Amino acid sequence: MAELCAYYVAALDMPVDSLAPIMNKILEVEPDYKQARLQLLQIAINHQNQKEVLRLCREGINYSPSEIVFYYYEGATLLQQDRTEEALKVLYEGISRIDNESDKETASDMLSMLADIEHEKGRHEKPFHSINRRQISIQTTFFASIITLIFSALNVVISTRPKL
């Protein structure tokens, strides 16, 4: 019944925020209903409600561990809160879940975020150790992230070379 209400609200072009109580009701009845959680996540992100984003992502990972968007947004939110080590842990867990069904853009963005964090910490090679060959062949959009990391590493090498 709650799903029917959600479709009705969507059909009337009502504000997305009006879906929140309906989506929460759906999750009460069916806590593994991924689409309802993703809708609530979008609302929480739009409202910049970091506490809610973290809660929804953590629950999303528990119920849908293969949905990498939960890892991405949890990692990004932790990073915004200067909880870098926790963000790294979540992002590494997320890239370990990448497979043929994963959204390629989210996977690429997650790897890029991970590479940026590791680069800032001076660990230029670490992101590459966590990616197996199958993941790289699946995620062709990773190529841009890897090139960015390489150029960033080269920039460090070039800037630290003694001047003649």
Q: What is the pLDDT of residue 20?
A: 87
pLDDT digit string (tens) for the chain, length 164 residues: 445 555 555 555 656 677 888 889 889 999 999 999 999 999 999 999 999 999 999 999 999 999 999 999 999 999 999 999 999 999 999 999 998 888 999 998 998 898 888 888 887 665 555 555 445 444 444 555 556 666 665 555 444 444 44
Q: What is the pLDDT of residue 72?
A: 97
Q: What is the pLDDT of residue 138?
A: 46
Read off the tokens for 122: 């001076």
Q: What is the pLDDT of residue 146?
A: 59
Alpha carbon distance 129, 115 (integer Å):
11
> Is the full-model pTM beyond 0.75?
no
Helix pair angle (84-95, 68-80), 10° resolution: 170
* Contact indicator for 77, 91 with CB cutoff of 8 Å: no
Q: What is the pLDDT of residue 53?
A: 97
Q: What is the pLDDT of residue 17?
A: 73
Q: What is the pLDDT of residue 129?
A: 53
**DSSP string for 96-135:** TT--TTS-HHHHHHHHHHHHHHHHHTT-SSHHHHT--HHH
Where helices occur in 30-67 by DSSP H, the ranges are: 34-46, 50-63
Q: What is the pLDDT of residue 120?
A: 85
Alpha carbon distance 120, 104 (integer Å):
24
- The residue behind tokens 């209903």 is 33
